[in-house]
Structure formats: structure tokens, C-alpha cells
């Protein structure tokens, strides 16, 4: 079946089995805390599981995602947003939402608001088109 003949993905609830791995980042001494090869292997296994469960279909537009991390797997729920719920990005914001979230979390740690970002057990992030901070 060609990609063009597959219907678009409207929603997905998927299980990624196995212990999840975080993105490898250097610790304060410049050494890797996680093994990049193990991460790459996990990422490939996770991608294959997700693609199979999505039946190799793709979301056509904006997507809302929930991720629940367990000790032996990850559950992902995703749904395409209907036209009336679609959000536009704030003006001047070009990057990925997860990168903005990580930057804010890192700043909270540097400011001492959290001693360590491992304290965080839930996270919600959204692009909101307009808000005036006055």
C-alpha cells in the first residue's frame, strides 16, 4: 500500500514496551550519563512499535500528545486536533515545544526553584497564540 492510499491518522493509543531511556546528556564533568548507543537502540525499537501500532499512518496537522512513563514501558496517547481546536503558534516562536519546555525546566533548576529536575513528576506544555504580560 502506498503512503498516498493510507488514510490519515486521527488518534493513537500505543504502548512502547521495555524500560524507557532519556536523551543522553553530558553531566557536569562533561561525561555522558547515559549510553548513546543504548538510547539509539531503544529509540529505534520505540519507533518501530509506534509505526506498527499507527499502521504506518501519519497525523495530517496539529497533534495533542500525552505520555505516561512506567518502569517497564511507555504509553502514548495522541489525537489530531480538529480544525476548530487548532492553535496558531505565538508570533516569533519557531522551535519545537519540547525544547522550550526543557529550557524553562533547566532555568528553574539553575534558579534554585527546583533542586533537580528529577523532582518533576508531571509536565504540561502548550503553545498559546496570545497573552499580554502587563
pLDDT tens digits, residue range 1-21?
445 678 999 999 999 998 888
| Helices marked H in 1-134 | 36-53, 97-111
- Would the pLDDT of 59 be above 90? yes
At residue 32, the pLDDT reads: 60
Query: Is the model's pTM score more than 0.85?
Result: no
CA dihedral 126, 64, 23, 45 (to 10 degrees): 180
Percent residues over pLDDT 70 in the chain: 83
**CA 80 to CA 62: how far, in whole Å?**
6
Residue 120: band (very low, low, confident or very high) from pLDDT cuts 50, 70, 90: very high
3-state DSSP call for residue 62?
coil
User: Residue range 29-58: average pLDDT?
Assistant: 86
At residue 39, the pLDDT reads: 84
85 vs 107, more confident? 107
Cell readout for 48 is: 518501530
Element (H, E) at 73: strand 73-80
Domain regions of the chain by residue span: 3-85, 87-129
Residue 104: band (very low, low, confident or very high) from pLDDT cuts 50, 70, 90: very high
At residue 2, the pLDDT reads: 46
What distances in angstroms separate CA 47 from CA 18, 43, 54, 60, 128, one per listed residue? 13, 6, 10, 18, 29
Could you give the count of Cα atoms lying within 13 Å of 37 in the half-sphere of its Cβ?
0
3-state DSSP call for residue 67?
strand
Residue 31: band (very low, low, confident or very high) from pLDDT cuts 50, 70, 90: low
**CA 105 to CA 71: how far, in whole Å?**
22
Amino acid at each position: 500500500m502506498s503512503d498516498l492510499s493510507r488514510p490519515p491518522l486521527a488518534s493513537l493509543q500505543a504502548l512502547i514496551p521495555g524500560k524507557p531511556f532519556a536523551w543522553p546528556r553530558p553531566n557536569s564533568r562533561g561525561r555522558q550519563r547515559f549510553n548513546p548507543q543504548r538510547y539509539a537502540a531503544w529509540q529505534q525499537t520505540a519507533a518501530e512499535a509506534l509505526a506498527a501500532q499507527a499502521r504506518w499512518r501519519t497525523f495530517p496537522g496539529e497533534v495533542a500528545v500525552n505520555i505516561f512513563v512506567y518502569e517497564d514501558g511507555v504509553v502514548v496517547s495522541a489525537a489530531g486536533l480538529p480544525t476548530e481546536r487548532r492553535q496558531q503558534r505565538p508570533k516569533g516562536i519557531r522551535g519545537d515545544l519540547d525544547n522550550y519546555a526543557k529550557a524553562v525546566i533547566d532555568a528553574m533548576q539553575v534558579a534554585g526553584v527546583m533542586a533537580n529536575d528529577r523532582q518533576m513528576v508531571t509536565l504540561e506544555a502548550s503553545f498559546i497564540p496570545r497573552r499580554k504580560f502587563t
